[in-house]
Amino acid sequence: MPKKQNINSSRRNFLAGSATVAGAAAAASVMPISIANANHTAADAKGLPSWTSWKKRSALIIHSDKGMETHRDAIGESVITPLRHVYIRNNMPTMSDAQIGNRNNWKLKVEGVKNPKTYTLAQLKQLAQRTEATVLQCSGNGRGFFAHKPRGSQWETGAAANLIWTGCPVSAIVKDCGGVVSGAKFMTSAGADMPKELDPKKALVERSVPIKAHKDALVAWEVNGVAIPNSHGGPLRMITPGYFGINNVKHIGKLAFTAKESSVKYMKSSYRISPIGKKGSQYPSCWEMPVKSWITSPLKSAKSGNVVVSGVAMGGTRKASSIKVSVDGGKSWKSAKFTGPDMGKFAWRRFVFETKLKPGTYKIVSKASAGGKSQPKLRMENRRGYLHNGWLDHGVDVTVS
Ligand SMILES: Nc1nc2c(c(=O)[nH]1)N[C@H]1C(S)=C(S)[C@@H](COP(=O)(O)O)O[C@H]1N2
Ligand SMILES: [Mo]
C-alpha cells in the first residue's frame, strides 16, 4: 500500500509563514494525494479548467485560471516529472486544437538570418533532431516565501519541472538559413497565442535572450515522449536550457535574430529584477536560472531512527556539482548523494541523505553548488519576487516521533 501523508495539515503548517490570500486559497484547494495512484480518471480532473482537464487534479494547487503549481510532494521520486503533474503558467490563453490546426503544418518564420525562411513543423523534423532534459521553472517560483507579498501567483516550490524535450536545434536552423545577420545580439521568440484583438505591445509573448543561448536552444515538438500538449505550448515550443520559464516561448510562430531586445511589455517591463518599490527596463531580465535545491520528503513528520531525506538540485546553466543537507537549520552541513541518472547539466538531479534522528523537531535545509557558486542563505529581495534560491526559506520543519 502506498503510504499517504496528511498533506492538508502539512500545507497549512508550511504556509504559516506566508499568510496571503492566494496562499490561503491554495491551502484550501489541497487534497490528500498519493502519487503512486496515478490512474487517469474523470474524477481525477474534477475542478480543473477544461483546457487542462487531462492533468491530475490532486497533484496540483490551483492559483488562478492562468496558474497551477505542482504540490511539493508530487514531482515524483524519479528524475523526470510526470506530465500530468507539471505546473502551468499562462500569460495568454492556451491555444485550442481549432486554432492550431494540423500540427505538421504549423509554421515557424525565421528572421534575422542571411536567408530568411518559413518552416513547417514537418520540415523541421526533417532538418535535425536533438533531445535535451531541462528544468522548466517560472521566474517567480518561490515568490510565496517573500515577506512583502509581491503581486502574482504565490508559488512555493512547484512552478518547476524536469522534462525531456525533443526538437530541432536552433543552431541547425541558423546553419540552414546561412547564418545570422551581422549585428545580431539577441535571439527573439514570439508566441502565436496572442488573441488578435489585443495590442501586441501589451499582449504579445515575445522574449529576447542573449544570442549565445541559441547554441543550446531547441524548437521542440515532443515532451516526455509525447507531442507537446497545447497547454504546454504545442505544437512547437522554444526551449532555452538553463533559462527561466518565460523565455521558453510556447506556440512559437516566429524566431528572429535581432540587434535589440523586443520592445513588448513582456520583455521591457515584466520579468525585470528590480528593488522593492522600483521598476523599469534598466533592471536585469529573468534569464539564466541560479543554482537551487529543495527537499521533497519528509515535509512534516517522520518516524525516529533511519530517516531518508530526499529532494532535487539544479544548477541552471551549469552542472549541479554538490549538495549538502543540514538537519539543524544550517548550523552543520553534511554531503548528500545524487541518485538516479544524470540527465545532463540542464536537468535537475535527485538527491538523498540518510540520517539517524531521535524524536524531536528539526529544521531540514539543503544547499546545492554549481559552477563554484552555492545557494545563498537568504532570498534576494526584489519587487516581483523573482529568482528565489535562498536555502533558509526552502527548508522544512519536521517533527520526528
Ligand atoms: N507563448 C507563451 N509562452 C509562454 C507563456 C505564455 O503565456 N505564452 N508563459 C511563460 C511562463 S511565465 C512560463 S513560467 C512558462 C510556463 O510553461 P508551462 O505552462 O508549460 O509550465 O511558459 C512561458 N512561455
Ligand atoms: Mo513564469
Which protein residue's CA is at the shortest distance from atom 9 of ligand 1? Answer: 90
pLDDT digits (tens, 9 = 90+) for 320-356: 999 999 999 999 999 999 998 999 999 999 999 999 9
**How much distance in Å is there from the Cα of 188 to the middle of ligand 2?**
17
Confidence band of 41 (pLDDT split at 50, 70, 90): low
Ligand 1 pocket, mutate which of 89, 100, 204, 237 (most atoms under 8 A from CB): 89
| Residue 28 exposed, middle or buried by CB count within 10 Å (0-12, 13-18, 19+) | exposed
CB 169 within 8 A of CB 179: no
Supply the DSSP symbol for 144. Answer: G
- Measured in whole angstroms, how far is the alpha carbon of residue 248 from the centre of its chain? 10
Ligand number, closest to the Cα atom of 192: 1
CB 143 within 8 A of CB 386: yes
**How much distance in Å is there from the Cα of 21 to the middle of ligand 2?**
20
pLDDT digits (tens, 9 = 90+) for 192-245: 999 999 999 999 999 999 999 999 999 999 999 999 999 999 999 999 999 999
pLDDT digits (tens, 9 = 90+) for 47-74: 888 889 999 999 999 999 899 999 999 9
Residues whose beta carbon lies within 6 Å of some atom of ligand 1: 86-92, 136, 138, 191, 193, 205, 232-233, 245-246, 248-251
**How much distance in Å is there from the Cα of 135 to the middle of ligand 2?**
13
Give the model's pLDDT for residue 13: 31
Which protein residue's CA is at the shortest distance from atom 15 of ligand 1? Answer: 245
What domains, with CATH codes, occur in the chain? 90-268 (3.90.420.10), 292-400 (2.60.40.650)
Helix/strand/coil (H, E, C) string of 227-268? ECCHHHCCCCEEECCCECHHHCCCCEEEEEEECCCCCCHHHH
Cβ neighbours of residue 56 under 8 Å, at least 6 residues apart? 38, 40, 44, 45, 74, 82, 84, 85
Asked if residue 31 has pLDDT above 70, the reply is no
Give the model's pLDDT for residue 381: 98
Asked if residue 20 has pLDDT above 90, the reply is no
Ligand 1 atom at minimal distance to the Cα of residue 233? 20
First to last CA, the chain: 22
**How much distance in Å is there from the Cα of 293 to the middle of ligand 1?**
22
Mean pLDDT for the stretch of residues 158-163: 98
Give the model's pLDDT for residue 46: 73
Q: Which residue has the cell 521542440?
A: 220
Q: Which residue type occupies 34?
A: S
Q: Which residue has the cell 521520486?
A: 77
pLDDT digits (tens, 9 = 90+) for 172-190: 999 999 999 999 999 999 9
Ligand 1 atom at minimal distance to the Cα of residue 91? 7
Ligand 1 atom at minimal distance to the Cα of residue 66? 7
Of all residues in the chain, the percent with pLDDT exceeding 70 is 89
